Structure 1
């Protein structure tokens, strides 16, 4: 343990930190769940997949899970009721749930697909936050991490519902940081870039098909827009969450933090 200016700086989480994670059974969410549990957190997650939830429960039998779609108010209410019962309180919320949304020109995207993307990616974060905040206040403060995207900084042609939602998360985050700061609640957004895994493979494939080029050509074009010329992993994103929830991040709030290898444009 090092000391700086008379203060103890601890690299790790408060023992038994109580954390709720939406879509915490697969992808980035699962990486976050695994890492926080490894560092001593008590976690309750939700997901929409029975298979992913079963796998999570098998790996982490001492932690809670609820099947829930964050775009549905009743599901979110059940999720938080279950979390309160299993955790006994709350120290942190990770608003992670999201979908890629449709690929297409604005005149080609259906209203149904637009609404579905906004409902999950943006409204879902509101529905979780509104129930988490009273619990965080009751605990004397805590942290909220909202998952945005590089698309929330640069915009994203042919992915307008997704980009609109991710820009909205930035405004949501900065507003909540101001609103909740006096209650000792820190609120930050993480902006992943091109994260390796099935979701980006689907996105690249859809865009390649739209342009009539090969997947490898499209992937190369994506990586040319990243300064480090590589994708990031879900574990890179999880490491940023760990930092923000640890004492090392106790004075970081209202920030939009890229974990993206420096995406220059989209």
Structure 2
């Protein structure tokens, strides 16, 4: 049975990923900073409360995975936070650093400790969650966009570095995903732009060819696909699951 570890796997997109892998018969291990959400997850899943920016904690988690499972077939480095929504001159350095730490450094640390297990096995798949904000500029979202661009460079480098060992690495770029985190973004953007929440929502939706938001299951299905044998020669790719963004911010 294949084994997957998903960071930020207790809610949102990460929870949808865990459910999708579970349906496909994978062993699932989720790590999340939210202990309450972890406790609400299925008892069949392994669970670890984790701050992805804490290297000692990340190292300990992967040591536990190795001891319990004997290896790891797939890593979904999914942890991320929205960060501040503000004009560049209003963003505090500590808010910038916190956003970059979770979105970029969290992915780096997960990959750093997953790589040795996968290299030793001569196989493995890493999927990093970026965003369409990692493909376009997003006004008022400078820290988030910068971090999401950076994880694409990280993942392409992983694909090159780990490819000779049989390990693949790919990026998923979700568009606007329905759920609580996006609702917070909508509220903050509405305040920053002097608009209503519904106006910002419609702006995001109308900026896609399909005219709608993404659901967690859409991203989850892509993650399972990228970790399957069906994509055994797919690596270093950036795949948007966004309804095709044709205008990243039509509200500007």
TM range (shorter): over 0.9
Give the TM-score normalised by structure 2: 0.96
Q: How does 1:70-149 map to 2 (within 5 A)?
A: 70-149=52-131
Asked if 1:223 corresponds to 2:205, the answer is yes
* TM-aligned CA deviation for residue 220 of structure 1: 1.1
Report the equivalent of 2:141: 159
Distance 2:68 2:79 in 1: 20
Report 1:127-206 matches (<5 A): 127-206=109-188
RMSD across aligned positions (CA): 1.0
C-alpha contact 1:19 1:91 (8 A) present in aligned 2: yes
1:44 to 26, 29, 32: 29
Q: Secondary structure at the match of 2:240?
A: strand
Q: Is there any run of 5+ residues in structure 1 with no aligned partner, and where?
A: 1-15
Partners in 2 of 1:86 and 1:34 — Cα distance?
21
Structure 1 distance, partners of 2:163, 2:148, is 22
Moved more, 213-222 or 193-202: 213-222
Radius of gyration: which is bigger? 1
Q: Which runs of 4+ in 1 moved over 6 A?
A: none
Aligned residues: 248
What displacement does 1:32 show?
0.4
Q: Residue 51 of structure 1: CA displacement?
A: 0.8
Once the 2 structures are TM-superposed, how far is the Cα of residue 63 of structure 1 from its aligned partner? 2.4
